[in-house]
Structure 1
Amino acid sequence: MPVWFAVYLALVWSQIAFSSAPESMACHYKFEIQPDYFVDYFEAARQCPGKKLTTRPNLGLIDKSYNDGKQSQAVSETSLPWERFAAHIRGLNADSPDHVSYKVLFLMRHGLGVHNVFMEKVGGQAWRDYWSHLDGDGNVVFRDAKLVDQGVQQANILAGFWSKAVSELKVPLPETVYSSPLARCLETTRIVFSRLFEQLGQSLHPNIKELLRERLTDHTCDSRSSRTWIENNYPTFIIEPGFTENDELWKRDRSETPDEHVARKHTVLEDIFSNDPHQFIALTIHSYAMSAILRACGSEEFRIAEGSLVALVVRAEKIGASQLGTS
């Protein structure tokens, strides 16, 4: 059974369990990460500290020509690698049939959070067995964990990277920015993109999507703040329809299985590919959320360090109901 079909089966549970998932889907998608555009992230991760991938120079884009005629009218062979790549992606979409589309996803992990630091302090086992179930230790708050100073610094470094990438490397400015509703992602998004968009005369209105949040465990750091808190602290962010005042997904006595998490990420990818016409999209998410997106796209997983960024080319193909059972 192909990976995408296993994900589809799990999707049935996901759409029932999570109130913010679409009640019905007009169509379903098969997602695939396209190879040979970026360096081998899996090998690069193995060479990074803790085997967690850090942001690659030039985002790891492989400098090559695209001998397919799709870029000839837009850029020349002397253009920068990202200019040729962007023209190639636009050409792919222009020439693809209606049921196939391509998007470049810039996946960004939030900066270091309170929970990350405390887990390192007490050890993983002690964190999982005891501390992760508490609202805090009396000094710091674990629930909907915020960024620590180092996490803010990581986000500022990533903001500088984006500024240089857009101005000098000609990396396309994300046409849509999405964020998990957890505080550490919201703040990372604000720090990374607010100044850049302002400098370019653009309005930054990130979209908050419930299903982009981290894998749901019984850890309090995975529960989110209220809608009112988010609206008060991030008034320019766009909250999706159906977003509840209080967190109705997090349960103190239940954790999401890895397959359920992959199904949830598959659902949010279907939402984005169905409703967002843009081709260059940024998502501020979490470590296991990235792993789930990779699996939803039929790929093996790699880990990414806090405050780091990776780019992927994802091909989406609409699959009719009659085709779901075929290999």
Structure 2
Amino acid sequence: MRVLPLVLTAPLLAFQGCVAASFRYSVDKTGLFLQEDPKINPNPPSYADTNFGLLNRTYETDASFDPSGQKTQWERFANYVAGLNKDAAPGVSYKVLYMARHGEGYHNVAQTFYGADCWECYWSQQTGNGTTTWQDAELTPKGYAQVRAANAFWRDTALTSKIPFPQSFYVSPMARCLATANETFATLGVWDGSRGFAPVVKELLRETLNACTCSWRHPKSWIHARFPTYRFEPDFSEDDVLFRPGIVTEYANSTAQRVRVRRLLDDVFTGDNSTYISFSTHGVVISPILEVIGYPNAGFSLGTGQVIPVLVRAEKVSDGPGGEAVVGGPVAAKACGVCGPAGGK
């Protein structure tokens, strides 16, 4: 595999300069969620069927908050989290991240159809196959059904269980995530009528920077035209300056991904005082987040349209960016001669 000149690391460097402090992350309170148990990984249940995975248990804050046992599990959990923040040492805070993987996209269907090898070395680098387009892939009908189920969850189940509603919303700039966030939250009827649902579009939440055209995003003006209430982080560029055709800047589970998601968390924990935060993003972003925060079940994998809640402790360690360095540079995308129309695959 040919390593490209170091100058081509510029796309990754474009992620820098967006944080004011760095933090040490951990999951120091365990035994809270079903998803913490690796035993469920072969056949994980849906968040919608398990009360978001919150386990039925007591908390040390229950006695004063709910002496008669009338509160829901989520009400007692929210009170527990509030107590953690109230009693936290200076520079320490707790946040609950609701991390949603987008609904099924056309790139997911194509990868399954062509197989992993031919998808990686040929088809993923095309914009489509003449029938289906997966460049900045849209949601499939199944994908829309998945995220409308999420809408129903927040509309009905979350209301009944009194699950804390997200106070802040962040979304990947990829079309499938923009639509996932919109279909999940925009019609819930809880928004200011003059503004509507207005998540922040963040580059740090985007798809892995590889050679798949599904990793390219539409221009800022296209996003604004389709989702006019969405807000953009400062310096969000009109055109996609991070995607490079034929170039792999990040690999799944690479140091580049860990550095990127750490910058994401640093950015959010520095500038957002909310306790409950929604990410509409990708499985390849959620997985390294679980690794960086030291999640008990870092191997947990989300299917399309699934969501995982995590309670994260952050301790400020410096007033500037920190963390591990990126190992290795961009490489040329894998190529093969047996796939595509000429190879019959």
TM-score, normalising length: structure 2:
0.82
Aligned twin of 1:21: 16
Aligned twin of 2:155: 163
* Partner SS, residue 248 of structure 2: coil
- Residue 31 of structure 1 aligns to which amino acid in structure 2? Y
Q: CA deviation at 1:47?
A: 2.4
Q: CA deviation at 1:29?
A: 0.5
* Partner SS, residue 186 of structure 2: helix
Q: Deviations over 1:269-320 (max 9, x none)?
A: 0000111100011111111111111112123222110011111000001113
Aligned twin of 1:37: 32
Q: Distance in 2 between matches of 1:279 and 1:72?
A: 22
Aligned twin of 2:92: 100
Q: Distance in 1 between matches of 2:67 and 2:260?
A: 38
* Partner SS, residue 195 of structure 1: coil
Q: Distance in 2 between matches of 1:286 and 1:123?
A: 20
Aligned twin of 2:312: 314
* Partner SS, residue 35 of structure 1: coil
Matched, 1:297 2:289: no
* Partner SS, residue 133 of structure 2: coil
1:44–1:120: structure 2 CA closer, same or farther, 3 Å change rule? same
Q: Distance in 1 between matches of 2:79 and 2:24?
A: 24
- Residue 170 of structure 1 aligns to which amino acid in structure 2? K
Aligned twin of 1:118: 110
1:249 to 221, 242, 250: 242
CA contact (8 A) 1:45 1:54 kept: no
Aligned twin of 1:3: none
Matched, 1:234 2:227: yes
Q: Distance in 2 between matches of 1:119 and 1:217?
A: 14
Q: CA RMSD in A?
A: 2.5
Bigger helix share? 1
**Percent of matched pairs sharing the same residue:** 32
Worse overlay, 251-260 or 140-149? 251-260
Q: CA deviation at 1:45?
A: 2.2
CA contact (8 A) 1:175 1:280 kept: yes
Q: CA deviation at 1:194?
A: 1.1
Q: Deviations over 1:226-278 (max 9, x none)?
A: 10100100111111011001111111223314110111000010000111100
Q: Deviations over 1:89-145 (max 9, x none)?
A: 111111112210000001111000000011111111111111000111112212111
Worse overlay, 273-282 or 195-204? 195-204
CA contact (8 A) 1:15 1:21 kept: no
Matched, 1:220 2:205: no
How many positions carry a matched residue from both structures? Answer: 306
CA contact (8 A) 1:75 1:87 kept: no
CA contact (8 A) 1:77 1:84 kept: no
Q: Distance in 2 between matches of 1:37 and 1:144?
A: 36
Matched, 1:189 2:181: yes
CA contact (8 A) 1:27 1:321 kept: yes
1:61–1:149: structure 2 CA closer, same or farther, 3 Å change rule? same
1:46 to 33, 42, 56: 42
Aligned twin of 2:138: 146
Aligned twin of 1:61: 54
Q: CA deviation at 1:65?
A: 1.9
Q: Distance in 1 between matches of 2:304 and 2:11?
A: 32
CA contact (8 A) 2:136 2:217 kept: yes
- Residue 158 of structure 1 aligns to which amino acid in structure 2? A
Q: CA deviation at 1:82?
A: 0.1
Aligned twin of 2:258: 262
Matched, 1:133 2:125: yes
Gaps of 5+ in 2: 1-7, 324-345
Q: CA deviation at 1:166?
A: 2.5
Q: Distance in 2 between matches of 1:240 and 1:74?
A: 40
